[in-house]
Amino acid sequence: MSVTWKSFRVGAEEGDWEPASYNIRTDDGQEYGRWRRVLRKHPHGLTVISRYKAPPGKAWKIIGKASELGEEVYIMEGAYYDAQGRILAGPGTFMFNAPGARHGGISRDLTLYIHCCSGESDEIISIELIDFEPKATASESGERGVTRRAT
């Protein structure tokens, strides 16, 4: 298959933010969930910015399965937490989820840059809105830098 490659740019105000099907609206009219902005869709990769926001006192617990060529994730803002409210990964952390790897975490207010290497999004295994209070926020913990894990 012959592929034609073209350079392009997406400006800061270009592109729509697509809401997830699981988004909720609270009594005060505020919407919570995930919004995704597609930067590039190609057979050799899907590149998106994803924003997650949970209501006060809550968090999203999302588990996925990486697509056939895996995915690269960079945390731009916010953090992933463990069940005890401790930060597992914060801003500046890069992660590679190997093909077929189950992955995910707990998040309240998170922005990710994601590149799905196969051009397809990962499979969602489960999504839960849980009661949650973190022990610290990413900005309070000083979490920066790159976390390296071999899998």
Query: For residue 111, what are the β-bridge partners?
Result: 51, 77
Residue 142 to residue 11: CA distance in whole angstroms: 30
**pTM (predicted TM-score):** 0.85
Residue 132 to residue 22: CA distance in whole angstroms: 18
**DSSP class of 15:** S
Q: What is the pLDDT along the chain (151 residues), one digit of tens a residue?
A: 677 778 888 888 888 999 999 999 999 999 999 999 999 988 778 999 999 999 999 999 999 999 999 999 999 999 999 999 999 999 999 999 999 999 999 999 999 999 999 888 899 999 999 999 998 766 655 544 434 444 4
Domains of the chain are 45-141 (2.60.120.1030)
**DSSP class of 82:** -
Beta strands per DSSP E along 11-79 = 18-19, 24-25, 31-42, 45-53, 58-65, 71-77
Number of Cβ within 10 Å of residue 55's Cβ equals 15
